[in-house]
């Protein structure tokens, strides 16, 4: 096994919280994904309290014990009638290679989860534990995640589940399992058009465009629901914030109390998966969205700025620029 096997680093608040027992879900995930091999005769102990070189040493200890495991497997193969030593050796080498590859994949997913946790703020209250069945399903996905894209995505899923157990359903895990390049491209293409990770507005703009095929693709996988008309009520005395990815649009000077929009709602899986997609609006997309807002809402001005998300439903808006309704001074 490689000496530089990736493991969660000891830097940042995340490792300190795991070591202190403040994140039982994280400790459980680490122990299950790369730490608990006691049934194979390993000398590993609870990896959740280990740091840096301690973890690397335990990996080397695990590797040192692999010969005993291989001998046991060879004996079992003999019982099954595999008398040709060459056949047995090839089979065992393939099995060993597969085990190492799966172990590497899971460790990389954990490293991405640790990076994702460290990139955010510490959790206020210690969250509850992660469910066993959920973690078992996740482990299967992590073991098979050989691409950097999938390892990063699963790292974000695990980080979100550590922060808020139950944040990702089994349906979302099943979707991730069938996620291919084509569907991933459709997700990335649609991400700049989604408001508050909840729905896609102004649907007529996609007619007779390539984006219409993207929508059909995501409908097929249960990410987007059929079009509906939604009525939104406004308080003319208050401002209204619309968020698209990390961009916020604060609408002010509203002179109507209700707006009707044709929208494509996201399903539960869509609401869980889209926040994981990296997305930023281009200048053209930003200007187009402002024009659509002015076209559907009687408002005097719109501030454009950044949004720091606290969770899917809450964030902090910082204005950067402002546009007045065309014709207003």
Average pLDDT over residues 198-213: 89
List Cβ neighbours of 329 (8 Å cut-off, separation of 6 or more): none
Give the number of residues written for the chain.
329
Highest mean pLDDT among 49-53, 74-78, 253-257: 253-257
Of the pLDDT bands very low, low, confident and very high (cuts 50, 70, 90), residue 313 is low
Task: Tell me the C-alpha distance between 63 and 1, whole Å.
Answer: 6
Mean pLDDT calculated for residue range 253-258: 84
Using DSSP, state whether 314 is helix, strand or coil.
strand
pLDDT of amino acid 125: 76
The better pLDDT of the pair 39, 254 is held by 254
Residue 259's DSSP bridge partners are 232
- Region for 280 from its dihedrals, namely left if φ exceeds 0, alpha if ψ lies in -120 to 50, beta otherwise: beta
**What's the pLDDT band for 56 if we cut at 50, 70, 90?**
very low
Which long-range contacts link 19-22 to residues 24+ away (Cβ below 8 Å)? 19/48, 19/49, 19/51, 22/123, 22/126
How confident is the model over 149-167, as pLDDT tens digits? 999 999 999 999 999 999 9
Tokens 């919280």 found at: 17
- Whether residue 232 is predicted with pLDDT greater than 60 in this model: the reply is yes
In the chain, count H helices and then E strands: 12, 7
Say how far apart CA 202 and CA 206 lie, in whole Å. Answer: 8
The tokens 């491209």 sit on which residue?
185
Better-scored residue on pLDDT, 163 or 72 = 163
Per-residue pLDDT, 105: 86
Give yes or no for residue 194 having a pLDDT over 90: yes
| Lookup result for tokens 């729905």 | 199
- Bridge partners for 285 per DSSP: none
Q: Is the pLDDT of residue 320 over 90?
A: yes
Stretch 175-183: mean pLDDT? 90
The H or E element that residue 302 is part of is: strand 301-311
Determine how many CB atoms are found less than 10 A away from the CB of residue 298. Answer: 15
CA distance 225 to 216: 10
The pLDDT assigned to 131 comes to 93
Task: Reply yes or no on whether the pLDDT at 45 is more than 60.
Answer: no
pLDDT tens digits, one per residue of 16-36: 777 777 788 888 888 888 764
Among 37-46, 97-106, 317-326, the range scoring the smallest mean pLDDT is 37-46
Mean pLDDT of the chain: 79
Find the distance separating the first CA and the last CA of the chain, reported in whole Å: 69
């Amino acid at each position: 096994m490689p000496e530089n096997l990736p493991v969660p680093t000891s830097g940042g608040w995340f490792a300190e919280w795991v070591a202190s027992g403040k994140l039982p879900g994280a400790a459980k995930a680490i122990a299950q994904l790369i730490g608990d091999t006691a049934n194979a005769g390993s000398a590993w102990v609870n990896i959740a309290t280990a740091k840096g070189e301690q973890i690397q040493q335990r990996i080397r200890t695990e590797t040192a014990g692999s010969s005993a495991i291989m001998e046991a497997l060879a004996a079992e193969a003999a019982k099954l009638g595999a008398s040709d030593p060459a056949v047995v050796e090839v089979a065992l080498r393939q099995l060993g290679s597969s085990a190492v590859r799966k172990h590497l994949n899971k460790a990389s997913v954990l490293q991405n989860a640790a990076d994702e946790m460290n990139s955010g703020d510490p959790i206020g209250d210690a969250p509850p534990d992660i469910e066993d069945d959920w973690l078992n399903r996740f482990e299967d996905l992590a073991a098979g995640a050989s691409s950097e894209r999938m390892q990063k995505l699963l790292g974000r899923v695990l980080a979100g589940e550590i922060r808020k157990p139950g944040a990702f359903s089994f349906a979302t895990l099943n979707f991730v399992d069938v996620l291919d390049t084509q569907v991933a491209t459709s997700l990335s293409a649609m991400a700049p058009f989604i408001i508050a990770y909840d729905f896609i507005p102004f649907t007529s703009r996609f007619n007779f465009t390539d984006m219409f095929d993207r929508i059909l693709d995501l409908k097929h996988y249960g990410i987007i629901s059929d079009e509906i008309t939604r009525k939104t009520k406004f308080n003319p005395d208050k401002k209204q914030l619309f968020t698209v990815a990390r961009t916020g649009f604060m609408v002010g000077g509203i002179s109507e109390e209700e707006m009707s929009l044709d929208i494509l709602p996201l399903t539960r899986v869509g609401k869980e998966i889209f926040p994981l997609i990296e997305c930023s609006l281009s200048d053209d997309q930003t200007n187009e969205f402002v024009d659509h807002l002015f076209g559907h809402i009687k408002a005097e001005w719109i501030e454009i700025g950044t949004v720091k998300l606290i969770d899917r439903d809450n964030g902090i808006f910082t204005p950067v620029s402002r546009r007045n309704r065309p014709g207003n001074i």
